[in-house]
Amino acid sequence: MLATGRVSLLCRPDLAFPFKDEESTVRITVNGQQQDADDGLDLAELVGRISDRSTGIAVALNSEVVPRGSWPGTAVHPGDRIDVVTAVQGG
């Protein structure tokens, strides 16, 4: 049986293993603003939450540019500094 916030074993309910009841978060800095993010959040999810654009976006993690193909597998960690920039056309 799977229930929100805990896993119970069908054969031995007395061995239920509780997960954290509240959502785990980490403190990160995004574009100079500190904020809490879900523990395990990756760069692809983060970009999807702050931008509706699918092109013209670059991401730096702790001052290192991260290739777009690496965003899904690159998790954020406490204290990380993420800069998300978009290209703007015109002058």
Which of 33 and 5 is assigned the larger pLDDT? 33
User: Is residue 51 situated within a structural domain?
Assistant: yes
Q: Looking at the 3D structure of the chain, how many domains does it have?
A: 1
As a whole number of angstroms, the distance between CA 16 and CA 9 comes to 6
CATH number of 69's domain:
3.10.20.30
User: Is residue 38 situated within a structural domain?
Assistant: yes
Tokens of 89: 């056309």
Q: What is the pLDDT of residue 89?
A: 76
As a whole number of angstroms, the distance between CA 39 and CA 48 comes to 16
User: Is residue 28 situated within a structural domain?
Assistant: yes
User: Is residue 19 situated within a structural domain?
Assistant: no
**What pLDDT digit, counting tens, does each position of 17-66 carry?**
333 334 688 999 999 999 999 999 999 999 999 888 889 999 999 999 99
User: Are the C-beta atoms of residues 25 and 40 closer than 8 Å to each other?
Assistant: no
Domain of 54, in residue numbers: 24-86
Give the type of residue at 55: T
- Give the helix/strand (H/E) hosting 37: strand 33-38
Q: What is the pLDDT of residue 88?
A: 79
User: Is residue 8 situated within a structural domain?
Assistant: no
